[in-house]
Amino acid sequence: MIDISNYLLGGAFFTYLVSTIFIWGSLSSKNNKGSSRTKRWEFISLNLSIFGLGLQLGFFVTRWIAIGHVPVSNMFEFTTFFGMMIVLAHVIIYFMYKTNIIGLFSIPTALTVIAYASVFSKKASPLVPSLQSYWLKIHVTTAALGEGILALSFVAGFIYLLRVVDQSKRSKGTFGIEFVFYSILSTLAFAIISYTFTNLEFETTFKWVSETQQEEELVYQLPAIVGPPNGEVVNTTHSFNPIVEAPSWMNGSQAPRKLNTLVWSLLAGAVLYLTLRLILLKRIGAKVQPLLVNIRPEQLDEISYRSVMIGFPVFTLGALIFAMIWAQEAWSRFWGWDPKEVWALITFLFYAAYLHLRLSKGWEGQRSAWLTVLGFVIIMFNLVVVNLVIAGLHSYA
């Protein structure tokens, strides 16, 4: 059953990829808005997205049956579910607004998230005691759904910025857009390098003394640019030595390895971004903008705002209210300032501030769009950095 679920996920990934090709291909008719070719390609893209969503739902159900509990308990399972929620939000937005333009980046974003998930272990393991609760399926799935809808606000806001920011000259706006592209490419680069070194069976084992003053072994699956403090190599498949040591103040027995992974992602993302810039011979945003001339910025602004209006209460319910109820049952306290809890609160406060500025201060257009981009950065920081670098009660994720 596990093999079947993995095949379904692979099929969903391929279907989303083809869907992306069709929606971007439809932009070639930008000077003939409403042409039959454009409508046909958008129709095919939408139906491929729905079909891929069905395949991924099949993955979710078959894995649930195989492992005996809802598959959202580790990084692989949660991140693939998050990707599925982005596609679901995309489909919902389409039927609300009858436009597939959000698919320009919503489906690629989901693809990047699923690719990121694929580098983590797919092995099913028994739930730790604190996760053996019906609140697991309630809290995690609701939080992921809220984040998926909020991701659509980022997509609409980002397309809005690509449409309206002047690309003829360098500015803070063009820098911000390029930084978003770099961040997306860094996530994709992480998936590529992790998949590559895993298939090469790359491994380095260090012996070191952690912050608990216990001698431990730490296994790296990527070359150790950042090694553990005063670490000693005891087993390796290569001759690559660490360049620097991780700061001694980092908590968690896996902290040096996680920091090394983050450094690899940033460096590989820079290589991927610069390569793309050399191929295009201009900023990525400047290359994309001419393809968006027939898109109405006002509609993008409205979609971005409505996505927050829907996603914010769903996220609040799942990531805060349900989480606090479960925390009370599991740890006999509603709140404990765990890193994951803190960043869930930061996310809540940020989107609350967004709605305040939008409704009370009249922040629309570019200012609103930049806020949705920053909001998604916070969500991804919570998913990537908090899970991979910062140790806490949620480290089992």
Domain borders along the chain are: 2-167+283-388, 204-261
Cα-to-chain-centroid distance, residue 354: 21
What is the enclosing helix (H) or strand (E) of 244? Answer: strand 244-245
> Residue 67 above 80 pLDDT?
yes
* pLDDT (tens digit per residue) in 6-49: 889 999 999 999 998 888 877 765 545 556 777 788 888 889 99
Q: Which of 127-136, 140-149, 164-173, 186-195 has the weakest average pLDDT?
A: 127-136
> What pLDDT does 319 receive?
87
Cα-to-chain-centroid distance, residue 178: 18
Alpha-carbon distances of 364 from 19, 81, 359, rounded to whole Å: 31, 31, 9
> Measuring CA to CA, which residue among 270, 275, 289, 279 is closest to residue 169?
289
> Residue 390 above 70 pLDDT?
no
Q: Rounded to the nearest 5°, which phi and psi values hold at 185?
A: -65, -30
Q: What is the pTM of this model?
A: 0.85
CB 129 within 8 A of CB 266: no
* pLDDT (tens digit per residue) in 353-365: 999 999 888 888 8
* pLDDT (tens digit per residue) in 241-254: 788 887 766 666 67
> What pLDDT does 29 receive?
54
What percent of the chain shows pLDDT beyond 70?
Answer: 92
* pLDDT (tens digit per residue) in 284-323: 999 988 888 888 899 999 999 999 999 999 999 988 999 8
* pLDDT (tens digit per residue) in 197-250: 878 888 888 887 766 677 778 888 888 888 888 778 887 777 777 888 877 666
The torsion region of residue 332 among left (phi > 0), alpha (psi -120 to 50) and beta comes to left
Residue 85 CA to residue 343 CA, distance in Å, equals: 20
> Residue 396 above 50 pLDDT?
no
> What pLDDT does 397 receive?
47
